[in-house]
Structure 1
Amino acid sequence: MTTVSAAAPAATAAELLAGYRPGSCTLFASPSGTLLAEGTYFAVPPSGRRDGLADLSRRVDAVLGVAEAAGHEVRTVVGAVPFAPGAPEHLVVPMRLRRGGAPVATPVEPAVFRAGRVRPVPGPGQYAAAVAEAVRRIDAGRCTKVVLARSLRVDAPGFDPAPVVRALAGREPGAYTFGVDLGGGRTLFGASPELLVARRSGRITAHPLAGSAARGRTPAEDARRAATLMRSEKDRHEHAVVVDAVASALRPYCRDLVVPPTPALVATASMWHLGTMISGAVADPAVSALTLATALHPTPAVCGTPTAAARQVIAELEPFDRGFYTGAVGWMDASGDGEWAVTIRCATSDEDGLALFAGAGVVAGSDPRAELAETTAKLATMLSALGLELGDEC
């Protein structure tokens, strides 16, 4: 999966999760395996350009070259890329890197901590109004889709994200669970259901998700909601737009690209999604996982279409900075292999508490109440691991 020190034996996912320590470690766990990165040997320097993504692969290659020239045994970068193109990434070559198997489903109790006030940003009414305004702008021709997000700020001094990361890995073993040390006492953590792109020995996969519905409380209701999602013209159209965009971005780099004609249902503990597994091979062995990730980022599933117009609407209607939310999180080694997930179903924590995020895709005819309900359902992944429930004011 990646290059590790010969002194670092393979471990189980449970052992690596037990060894995860926010502030000094970064963890990334997926269905293909688990990485635990400890310390920082060399950080990828900032770009200094307005669009840092344009030279990100070059900067990462340079840092990996430094590690190789110095004889450092770990030649892998881990970390996160933000949503905004000009914001700084957080990618490092760690001092030590251990790897292990994929997580397995494990009953884990919710994290226990003292939570204070929970503040929605924006409030439910303001979010619904923003969705209605986005629909008006779509009807006026400014864009065809925009993804609007909302946030919950939880006051919790001294909060420790480690138990939450372990709970998420046990509850969602098929997801991409992460805990990224951002420095300064800040941690990005979550369990994303969506693979942006993975590259292994020249083979690539991408698994875009778009079109969602909350899980039902009974088996019959759950099955009905899944079937309704599959039949939904609005959700099928939204999904097709994302798949077309992902396939179009990958084709210049790939050969034998396989794009299934119809989506499949993807289940998480709280949501049903429409997903399409795209696969192929890189045409040029020099094309790395990070090159592919930056070509895809941001997909219409987290931003909208056209990208520039959707970004502008987001900037005008969202009253907070997304930071790393809806960016990319993962790893890449010196051979170009790697795995990058879309940074959703996540939160960031600091010394005062944490902020949770969720968004919904707005298109012509979107119902503000339905989009608000979708964000509430998506927040359930993190809220469940935190042992929190939303009040009516949120």
Structure 2
Amino acid sequence: MSTPAMVRPRPVHRAADLLAAYLPGSFFYSSATGSLLADGVHAPVRAGHGSRAAAVSEALDAAAVHGVEDPVVVGAIGFRPDAEASLVVPAVVRRAGAPDGSGPAGAPASAKWSITPRPEPEVYADGVRRALELIGAGELDKVVLARCLEVTADQPVPVPALLSRLVRLNPAAHAFAVDVSAPGDPAPRALVGASPELLVSRRGTEVVANPLAGSLPRVADEAENRRRVAALLASAKDRAEHAHVSAQVAEVLGRFCVDLDAPAEPSVIGTPTMWHLSTRITGRLADPTDPGSSALALAEALHPTPAVCGVPVDRARAAIAELEPEDRGYYSGLVGWSDLQGDGEWVVTIRSAEVCDRTVRLFAGAGIVAGSDPAAELAETSAKFRTLLRALGLEGTA
């Protein structure tokens, strides 16, 4: 009589193990739903500038045919319609639970830094004034203007240490590190961040989106924080800005979903550095077998939301191209993963930076609507830079 073959249990990892195992060139992603570490490249996704979701679906089908067990695609897509993308079917994927925030954040790299704002703060404020003129003339309802900090160290910036600090300091965020190296880069380039904003996730028939818009900086004094939360909820300007975003997200998801739940009133969520008006929108897919309702297809249908672009979208994009001197690259694009079943999770690439050797390029933006104040919008971008600056040991320098 033959002995039954022993079934080897699948390895169980801890989120901390995956974080410790991250090396430059890997893909790391963690959120409240779990952690994922991907290594190696089974196949790149040749997406061009068309539908990345269609290319991803083809790549996943091909990987399954070639014997890849439970294939996934991981990576990032830039902001513009013609932006670069870095998407691959990895060779090895490990999963774990969500980070729990345990363990010390560790000290930032001991380096000497120089910081160059692009553009200068007064130029950014002038751009806000020009955007307000467009809004006053009726050409726009809202536009999101971003600015950049180029931070340069006297030694190469260690991406694994930066990622580890971001996860430890922001355990509830959607943390990520993606290799986005491109021809012509002087060294490998990594996109690293801790985004608070879920663009869309899909699990079976369940779809969730969590748009954010309307923000105030968080401070050390808890009484003042309570005042700021109340002020944010009472602010007509911030609520109007948020309504643009949540209405658009609900309208798009309504094309794919039944039983859509979009709360009429926003709530407030906090990060270690900011308070945001938030609406959690949920729905059930009408046809989960439709390739056009995969996680990435939904993300492409939603992107760009008014939280990172504006209303109307085409005119806002044109204003961004006109008023922002720096190309956003991957900032305010998408980062995440999708699997063969169409499930996945994609977040908005904010609170992020691109790291190449000794240089870190950070971006932060603010939503400009009627009633915006240039000085306040400049201050909001400075507050949003704090997530990355804190992880670099440079908080207070924006």
Q: Give the alignment's TM-score, normalised by structure 2.
A: 0.93
Is the contact between residue 138 and residue 364 of structure 1 (CA under 8 Å) also seen in structure 2? yes
Is the contact between residue 135 and residue 362 of structure 1 (CA under 8 Å) also seen in structure 2? yes
- The offset of 1:324, in angstroms, is 0.6
Q: Distance in 2 between matches of 1:113 and 1:63?
A: 42
Q: Distance in 2 between matches of 1:105 and 1:197?
A: 24
* Structure 2 counterpart of 1:66, one-letter code: A
For 2:271, which of 254, 268, 271 is the aligned residue?
268
- The offset of 1:180, in angstroms, is 0.5
Classify the secondary structure of the residue corresponding to 2:362.
Answer: strand
- 1:338 maps to which residue? 344
- The offset of 1:74, in angstroms, is 4.5
* Structure 1 counterpart of 2:40, one-letter code: G
- 1:57 maps to which residue? 53
Q: Distance in 1 between matches of 2:228 and 2:84?
A: 40
Q: Give the alignment's TM-score, normalised by structure 1.
A: 0.94
Q: How many residues align?
A: 381
Is the contact between residue 113 and residue 159 of structure 1 (CA under 8 Å) also seen in structure 2? no
Matches within 5 A, 1:153-168: 153-156=150-153, 157-168=155-166
Kindly report structure 1 stretches of 4+ aligned residues shifted beyond 3 Å: none
For 2:72, which of 72, 76, 83 is the aligned residue?
76
- Of structures 1 and 2, the larger Rg is shown by 2
Is the contact between residue 74 and residue 93 of structure 1 (CA under 8 Å) also seen in structure 2? no
- 1:364 maps to which residue? 370
Classify the secondary structure of the residue corresponding to 1:117.
Answer: strand
Please list every run of 5 or more consecutive structure 2 residues that lacks an aligned counterpart in the other structure: 1-7, 182-186
Matches within 5 A, 1:230-309: 230-285=233-288, 286=290, 287-309=293-315
Q: Distance in 2 between matches of 1:115 and 1:299?
A: 37
- 1:378 maps to which residue? 384
Q: Distance in 2 between matches of 1:7 and 1:79?
A: 28
Is the contact between residue 33 and residue 103 of structure 1 (CA under 8 Å) also seen in structure 2? yes
What is the percentage of aligned positions where both structures have the same residue? 49
* Structure 2 counterpart of 1:376, one-letter code: S
Is the contact between residue 109 and residue 157 of structure 2 (CA under 8 Å) also seen in structure 1? no
- 2:141 maps to which residue? 144
- 1:102 maps to which residue? 98
Is the contact between residue 84 and residue 329 of structure 2 (CA under 8 Å) also seen in structure 1? no
- 1:3 maps to which residue? none
- 1:214 maps to which residue? 217
For 1:191, which of 194, 198, 209 is the aligned residue?
194
- 1:126 maps to which residue? 123
- 2:37 maps to which residue? 36
Give the superposed CA RMSD: 1.3
- The offset of 1:95, in angstroms, is 0.7
Is the contact between residue 70 and residue 340 of structure 2 (CA under 8 Å) also seen in structure 1? no
- The offset of 1:364, in angstroms, is 1.1
Q: Distance in 1 between matches of 2:396 and 2:98?
A: 31
Q: Residues 273-319 of structure 1, C-alpha deviation per residue, up to 9 Å, x if partnerless? A: 00000001111112211111000000000000100000000000101
Q: Distance in 2 between matches of 1:111 and 1:77?
A: 31
